[in-house]
Structure 1
Amino acid sequence: MLESNTTFFTHPSTFILLGIPGLEAAQVWISIPFCTMYAMALLGNFAILFIVKMESSLHEPMYYFLCMLAVTDLVLCTSTLPKMLSIFWFNSREINFNACITQLYFIHCFFAMESGIFMAMAFDRYVAICDPLRHSTTLRNSIITKIGLAILLRGGVVTLPCPLLASQWPYCRSNIIPHTCCEHMAVVNLACADTRISSYYGLFVANLVMGLDMFFITVSYTQILRAIFSLPTKDARLKTFGTCGSHLFAILAFYIPGVFSVLVSRFGHNVAQNFHVLFANVCLLVPPMLNPIIFGVRTKQIRNRILWLFINKGP
């Protein structure tokens, strides 16, 4: 039945998503933790959006950026998980060519946006700790709106050439993608042309976006740590550092797996394909699931509001 998939075509009408190569028999069981993480991501991020909207005391820069992060996480995991679960549960492996290219764009665009939001949150913490008297004037609502638009435009513009190039390559080898989603290099590797420009540009975007953001986050937290260690008492240092703890933990949960996944997809030729696919899915699922938990547990205002909702939800 798959013989027609290897015939010559310039633009196939559909791609076939293989799922997790070598683990087809276990995919139903693998779907259970993935589905659980997706449900937690949906519930947690919608809860963050609802609480910040309803609680006027949370209408501050930190929580506006947190809402941007929640929306980005919702789009990022929803762009991949429903199709992945349909593969695991119903063996629905076909995906329209244009839908595949669109999914490719959404994955990389919103991944870049999430990186930018973490950088903006680091800037917010820097101003709040190093220059607290100017925090309200530096990060006015109009400035936050401009930062949000800049993050959106940067993510949309720098990743746009990836799907545009991918849609122009001739595909004559196969239309079978050994992945659960239309990841950039998984699609481009099927093209029967010199695709080095796609490969190099994808690597350039990863270095430009994640590398630049990590650099500015590192600079911000270097200044923050200098300010914290200059405080006179241990209690003051711990209290101030505690305001950054959730952000730092979320940054590590996003960047460490993300950087590792990028390196494996580019240079990990000896890494088993099923491990690469599993890890790539973990990178797309774990941060959206963890972020609401991290900020909900460690942010006093959100934690108190959640407890209040549970305590006062009687008839």
Structure 2
Amino acid sequence: MPLRDILSGSNGSSSDLSLFFLMGIPGLEPMHLWISIPFCSVFSVALLGNCTLLYVIRTEPSLHKPMFYFLAMLAVIDLGLSTTTVPKILSIFWFNSREINFSACLVQMFFLHSFSIMESAVLLAMAFDRYVAICNPLRYTTILTNSVIVKIGLAALARAVVLMAPLPFLLQRLPYCRSHVIAHCYCEHMAVVKLACTDTTFNNIYGIIVALCIVGLDLMFIIVSYVRILRAVFSLASKEEQLKAFGTCGSHICAILVFYVPVVLSSTVHRFGRQVAPHVHILMANFYLLLPPMMNPIVYGVKTKQIRVRVLLWFRGKSF
């Protein structure tokens, strides 16, 4: 359906109240086909990389350790984050399939934000893992037992569900008597809230509180963990021991930067960058969906010897 027809038929009572339309990247509609090439490439790399990571961790006994269990959780979350949004984005770019049922939109939003919250929680758990490994190495196996890891995973899942469960209900109660065109590639919370024709102060405040609780608190605890790690590392006698300790944290630090930097930049531009073009907002919002799922397997594959060796053997056609 041409965009002008969507815009002309999406306001008032003449439109289907259950049907919404995703614009894609506003201002760059003629370039959607070209933009789909890097999107599809990144999505393919993310799927291949995370599936490979999960397979290697499952089949390699030496990787059955807390750090790699958390990495497996991260891979599952990244797969969920990618598959929740990118297929619909590509259908917009390739087939101009902009329509989305409002219920499907709410489901996509719930899973999208839930997976993001879970990823933040797992990165925090990995920081705790590194803290215990470096600051309390003798107690590592007694602190991070399998049951503790399962509880951490369930806590991350429960927190995401509890925080995101109110969103669909909050949005369902709003009247949408204006345009039903969502100026985004996917059903992001604030992009949908903007379409409501009533006071949305509570929705805005709730979104800000959740974002501050997740990004603010998780990032704060991660920083505290690394401050303590740095103190422990600098207290080591030799430079070789210090480098070895830093080496065990390198992959995790890269994963933190890949996840949090796009989130913080996107949120900052969204809140304060009123002069920034709409397509820049949308592209930046897509970075934190596309970048971590693609980069995490690459970073850990390059930095972790056991994973690197197994993958190289696989590609050379040797048996595991």
- Give TM-score, length-normalised by structure 2: 0.95
TM superposition shift of 1:10: 10
1:294 matches 2:291: no
Shift of 1:13: 1.3
- Match for residue 87 of structure 2? 82
Write out per-residue CA displacement over residues 91-112 of structure 1, whole angstroms, 9 at most, x where no aligned residue: 0000011000111111111101
Specify the alignment match of 1:306 in structure 2: 311
Residue 77 of structure 2 aligns with an amino acid whose one-letter code is: T
Shift of 1:85: 0.3
Aligned residues: 314
State the shift of 1:11 in Å.
8.0
**Is 1:186 aligned with 2:177?**
no
* Offset, 1:263: 2.2
Distance (Å, rounded) in 1 between the aligned partners of 2:161 and 2:186: 19
1:222 is aligned to: 227
1:246 and 2:251 correspond: yes
Does residue 282 of the first structure (1) align with residue 287 of the second (2)? yes
Q: Is the 8 A contact 1:10 1:171 kept in 2?
A: no
CA deviations on 1:244-297 (whole Å, 9 max, x unpaired) are: 001001101110111111222233322211011111111100110000000110
| Aligned mates of 1:25, 1:124 — CA distance in 2 | 47
Is the contact made by 2:9 and 2:15 (CA closer than 8 Å) also made in structure 1? Answer: no
Q: CA, structure 1 residues 165+131, in 2 after alignment: closer, same or farther (shift >3 Å)?
A: same
282-291 vs 2-11, greater mean Cα deviation: 2-11
Against the structure 1 CA distance between its residues 224 and 113, is the aligned structure 2 distance closer, same or farther, given a 3 Å change threshold?
A: same
Q: Residue 19 in 1 paired to residue 27 in 2?
A: no
Query: How far apart, CA to CA, are the structure 1 residues paired with 2:14 and 2:185?
Result: 22
Q: 1:55 to 1:211 in 2, by over 3 A?
A: same
- Most deviating of 156-165 and 206-215: 156-165
Q: Determine if contact 1:72/1:110 at 8 Å carries over to the other structure.
A: yes
Percent identical: 57
The code of the aligned residue for 2:295 comes to L
1:306 to partner: Cα distance: 1.1
Query: Match for 2:274 among 261, 269, 273?
Result: 269
Distance 1:271 1:97 in 2: 28
Query: TM-score, with normalisation over the residues of structure 1?
Result: 0.97
Give, as a single letter, the amino acid of the residue that structure 1 aligns with 2:179. Answer: S
Distance 2:234 2:66 in 1: 24
Q: Say whether 1:103 aligns with 2:96.
A: no
Structure 1, unaligned stretches of length 5 or more?
Answer: none
Contact 1:87 1:93 in 2 (8 A): yes
User: 4+ residue stretches of structure 1 with deviation over 6 A?
Assistant: none
SS at match of 1:79: helix
The one-letter code matched in structure 2 to 1:16 is F
| 1:25-104 equivalent positions in 2, closer than 5 A | 25-104=30-109
Secondary structure of residue in 1 paired with 2:179: coil
Q: Describe the shift of the 1:72–1:111 C-alpha distance in structure 2 as closer, same or farther (beyond 3 A).
A: same
Q: Which runs of 5+ in 2 are unaligned?
A: none
1:23 Cα deviation (Å)? 0.4
Note if contact 1:9-1:172 (Cα within 8 Å) is conserved in structure 2: no
CA deviations 1:200-228 (Å, max 9, x no partner) are 11010000011110011001101111111
Alignment check: 8 A CA contact 1:166 1:188 kept: yes
Secondary structure at 1:80's aligned position in 2? Answer: helix
Q: Does 1:255 align with 2:249?
A: no
2:130 paired with 1:125:
yes
Q: Distance in 2 between matches of 1:235 and 1:98?
A: 56
Q: Please tell me whether residue 202 in structure 1 is matched to residue 199 in structure 2.
A: no
Change (3 A) 1:48 1:62: same
What secondary structure does 2:100 align onto?
Answer: strand
Q: 1:66–1:285: structure 2 CA closer, same or farther, 3 Å change rule?
A: same
Distance 1:11 1:131 in 2: 60
The CA deviation at 1:9 is: 8.1
The 8 Å contact of residues 81 and 115 in structure 2, kept in 1 or not, is answered as: yes
Q: 2:162 and 2:16 mapped to 1: Cα distance?
A: 24
